[in-house]
Amino acid sequence: MTDQTDVIYKTDDLIAQDIDAYLEQHQHKTMLRFITCGSVDDGKSTLIGRLLYDSKMIFEDQLAALESDSKKVGTQGAEIDFALLVDGLAAEREQGITIDVAYRFFGTEKRKFIVADTPGHEQYTRNMVTGASTADLAVILIDARKGVLTQTRRHSYLAHLIGIRHIVLAVNKMDLVDYDQATYDAIVADYAAFARSIGIERFVPMPISGFKGDNITGLSASTPWYTGPSLIQHLETVEVDTTTDQAKPFRMPVQWVNRPNLDFRGFSGLIASGTVRPGDTVRVLPSGKTSTVSRVVTLDGDLDEAVAGQSVTICLADEIDCSRGDVLATADAPPQAADQFETTLVWMADEALLPGRAYWLKLGTQTVSATVQEPKYTVNVNTMEHLACKTLDLNAIGVAEITTDRAIVFEPYAEGRTLGGFILIDKITNATVAAGMLHFSLRRAQNVHWQAMDVSRAAHAALKNQQPAVLWFTGLSGSGKSTIANLVEKKLHALGKHTFVLDGDNVRHGLNKDLGFTEADRIENIRRVGEVAKLMTDAGLIVLTAFISPFRAEREMVRELLADGEFLEVFVDTPLELAEARDVKGLYKKARSGQLKNFTGIDSPYEAPESPEIRVDTTKESPEDAAERIVDHLLGWAPTI
């Protein structure tokens, strides 16, 4: 291996001389996205730094800074520490580990590359999933001194799960084991046994040294026993996923409707798979309506053909309804639409999954509300054993059923990432909490349909001469919710209104008698009550509910079930010390003594409404006055308070 200091380092002159020519040169090359992954300190960042260095993608000022940083914070003595090219965060340099996902671009004469350097530490597994989600290939690094480790297995399993079909097993740091073939062969055999157990049918092993450069751009004299390709040779020749995607049926999620003037209407998006041409018959999903492609438009003009990976605007011959979130597909082989699925979830949030809670589900350009049922099992990545569980914690991988509030267009993840892969987003914090892969729709999703009735919702309300609504009373135990709700119903009844009260204690005697007071059970309690309240509004009733309902997410879930203006949140605002002083049922006393677990306000949180329609301050307003004010507001006799 040539000493680093003897290398005359010079980037491509064409970049400085003619940037347009340089970009033109690279425009028609294929692009390979790949990740490096494995356990902590297996040399991922060093390998990427070496690839950037050897491909002449470092400018003179960057090289000077690298040499300076290597002397100050490097781990390779007087030599260049290539990892510093990628580990940009201060915490990464201090600890010598990768924390965030770092994306780098480089190119060779044959191909362009985007490489994601993903963290090896278990704590940052969610970042590895992020990097792998768009990759065509994974380079699994193994320290030749340590062999196959837990994170090697975890990252291999995740890469396979996410759909990466090209795996390179890079046995790194061969220079530290004197390029011993027996060590290399033992590691490859060990990994092969594990790979077969998780369904990885083939992988390409190679002995390398990211630091010394062995078998990176060319074959090394230090490993004469290795006759396979160098890493760059393999990366330049492996088939990219876009090539195989073009052979699949046409799919394009609509990102937006392009309507610059009255004479043009097109549907813009990135083609996920297949090929489309003017004259093709396409189907709009989920509506199922068909039309013919009249034009395929781009900024550079119309195309005779567009393929997977291209962003285009498609014009249709007919004026049919199509909007963001819909999918254009080949008419004779469309994807499915359903609202209940079996999925695999990779949990990415510090807070555990709460079964029954509503999350935003984003799949392609579709965003819907979704609830996750209690997981069927979680996967032990070391043994591949399926373990019983009630929730999913950070970095857990599990299988669970998901229900969405409306049908979405999908494909099994094994058939297509775009319509098979999704993320879950917390509705309150907007944080991404999970990445998921759809397996199949549940049979009940196809067999259970809405039954049309001749007497409509509006007819029920007209017969009762009232506007249906839900008055949702929320507050701490002992705040006075049931008392005020009872007074409101009496006043409405006296006015001839048709009402019904759903009280927290009463429904637990029947409908929800099987539920306890854990967070998951509280969520399910409110979900059921919300569904019942919705059915009652369908019957034209004014529904009053008196529940602690401690979580904002579930109160918002019920709001989303109803039409605009039908959900009125009434916050019965009573300080904890006052509610506890009342303690009509003796519950606070039991909670304080430890006899009653998961009691709201003591050892379980209450998330107060941030902008309720009505707020009742029980320290300043009597129940009778509050009830009068609520009735006036409901019937439109008073301004919003």
Residue 251 per-residue DSSP state: E
Partners of 291 in beta bridges:
282
List the structure tokens of 317: 């011959």
Q: Collapsing DSSP states into helix, strand and coil, what is residue 372?
A: strand
Q: List the Cα angle 223/225/228 in 5-degree steps.
A: 85
Question: How many Å separate Cα 235 from the centre of its chain?
Answer: 28
Measure the CA–CA gap between 81 and 67, rounded to whole angstroms.
8
| CA pair distance 189, 193, nearest whole angstrom | 6
Q: Which residues contact 262 (CB under 8 A, 6 or more apart)?
A: none
Query: Would you tell me the crossing angle of helices 457-464 and 519-538 to the nearest 10 degrees?
Result: 70
In terms of DSSP bridges, do strands 166-172 and 137-143 run parallel, antiparallel, or are they unpaired? parallel
Host H or E run for residue 116: strand 111-117
Can you tell me whether residue 347 is helix, strand or coil?
strand
Whole-number Å distance between alpha carbons of 111 and 240: 11
Q: What are the backbone angles phi and psi of residue 233, rounded to the nearest 5°?
A: -60, -45
| Residue 195: both structure tokens together | 């790979």
**Omega before 286 cis (within 30°)?**
yes
Q: How far apart are CA 173 and CA 50, in angstroms?
A: 13
Contacts of residue 601, Cβ cutoff 8 Å, sequence gap at least 6: 476, 477, 576, 579, 580, 588
Taking each helix axis from N to C end, the angle separating 481-494 and 623-634, rounded to the nearest 10 degrees, works out to 50
* Cα angle 194, 200, 206; round to 5: 75
Query: Cβ(523)–Cβ(355) under 8 Å?
Result: yes
Q: Which residues are catalytic?
A: 549
The answer for 514, left when phi > 0, alpha when psi is -120 to 50, beta otherwise, is: alpha
Question: Checking phi first, is residue 595 left (phi over 0); if not, alpha (psi -120 to 50) or beta?
Answer: alpha
Whole-number Å distance between alpha carbons of 41 and 604? 41
> What separation, in Å, do the N-terminal and C-terminal C-alpha atoms of the chain show?
78
* Phi, psi dihedral angles at 338 (to 5 degrees): -160, 170
DSSP output for 21-37: HHHHHHHTSEEEEEEEE
> Which parts of 421-563 are beta strand (E)?
421-425, 432-441, 469-474, 499-503, 542-546
| DSSP character at residue 620 | T
CA atoms within 13 A on the CB side of 37: 33
357 in Cβ contact with 553 (< 8 Å): yes
SS3 (DSSP) at 621: coil
Nearest-angstrom CA–CA distance, 108 and 590: 71
Q: Specify the residue for token string 């005779």.
A: 304
What DSSP line would sit under 345-414, residue for residue? EEE--SSPP-TT-EEEEEETTEEEEEEEPPPSEEE-TTT--EE--SS--TT-EEEEEEEEEEEEEE--TT
